[in-house]
Amino acid sequence: MAELLYQGKTKEMWTTDDPEVLRAVYKDDATALDGLKHDVFQNKGELDAEISSLVFEYLMKHGVKTHFIKRLSKNEQLVKKVKMIDLEVVTRNIAAGSFCKRYGLKEEGEKLDTPVEELFMKSDALHDPLMNESDAIAFHLLTHEEHEQIWEISRQVNQLLTKLFADAGMLLVDFKVEFGTLPNGEVVLADEFSPDNCRLWDMETKDHMDKDVYRRQIGNLIDVYERVLARLKDALAKE
Ligand code: C5P
């Protein structure tokens, strides 16, 4: 009997007959403001699952190690069971969001001279505080070697996806990824990659094509995610 292992804000993780494999179910929920804002959008789970599956397949084709096995149905994936590293790993190419707030930048959009790499503790109660490597190691969230590996993979992801989204007419402004370790200790990319956890701006108009349309109430989330998916499919077809 499948057992619900984890109930997240936007995903459920279920056991399967294989103890090394889990089933991820993408839900139609959208949340923001540390879970205080919550809505349900029909088809959102399918869109996130499809976009994330395409992105993970593309990354794996280019040598990135991930937990992904395959898309199982419209809103379900099979993934390798990993021990999650309890950190949000953010890379920024362009100043936006909390980066601008923290450093008092009045406008978003400045291209950063080097990608900025940030770790955040996963805690709604504490509003996901910023952490450095020694904080994370002191809290036993990861080891120095795992810290090196998460940034090595994040840099690979940034390079590959900046190009892929550019081919799809979008700027990859920033993104949050999560990692896990396999039973042999290897660090792999886990969780998802969708417009829920990255910022994508239209290359020409700089229109927002990600969850900021929901967070800031500046557009229709489903329309925007459908456009991201269509552009991504076009770009992948030209690969
Ligand atoms: O809010 P902030 O500017 O720190 O977000 C940076 C990136 O991380 C954005 O792409 C955002 O979508 C993502 N993020 C996330 N989950 C969070 C916080 C941020 O996916 N809890």
From first to last of the 239 residues of the chain, give the pLDDT tens digit: 999 999 999 999 999 999 999 999 999 999 999 889 999 999 999 999 999 999 999 999 999 999 999 999 999 999 999 999 999 999 999 999 999 999 999 999 999 999 999 999 999 899 999 999 999 999 999 999 999 999 999 999 999 999 999 999 999 999 999 999 999 999 999 999 999 999 999 999 999 999 999 999 999 999 999 999 999 999 999 98
Helix-strand-coil split of the chain, %, nearest 5: 30, 35, 35
188 close to 179: Cβ distance less than 8 angstroms: yes
Best residue for ligand 1 mutational test, from 11, 90, 157 (most atoms within 8 Å of Cβ): 90
pLDDT at position 34 is: 87
75 close to 45: Cβ distance less than 8 angstroms: yes
Nearest 5°: the CA angle 9, 19, 140 is: 60
Task: Please state the separation of Cα 59 from the chain's center in Å.
Answer: 13
pLDDT at position 172 is: 99
Quote the ligand 1 centre to 199 CA distance (angstroms): 8
Task: Please state the separation of Cα 238 from the chain's center in Å.
Answer: 24
Q: Is 208 in the pocket of ligand 1 (CB under 6 A)?
A: no
Q: How far, in Å, are 167, 178, 180, 204, 209 from residue 122 at the CA level?
A: 32, 11, 14, 34, 24
Q: Which segments within the chain are labelled E, that is strand?
A: 4-7, 11-15, 21-26, 29-32, 37-40, 68-73, 76-80, 83-94, 111-121, 130-131, 170-181, 187-190, 198-202
Q: Quick check: ipTM above 0.95?
A: yes
Quote the ligand 1 centre to 63 CA distance (angstroms): 25
Structural domains of the chain, ranges and CATH numbers in brackets? 4-80 (3.30.200.20), 83-220 (3.30.470.20)
Note if the pTM is more than 0.80: yes
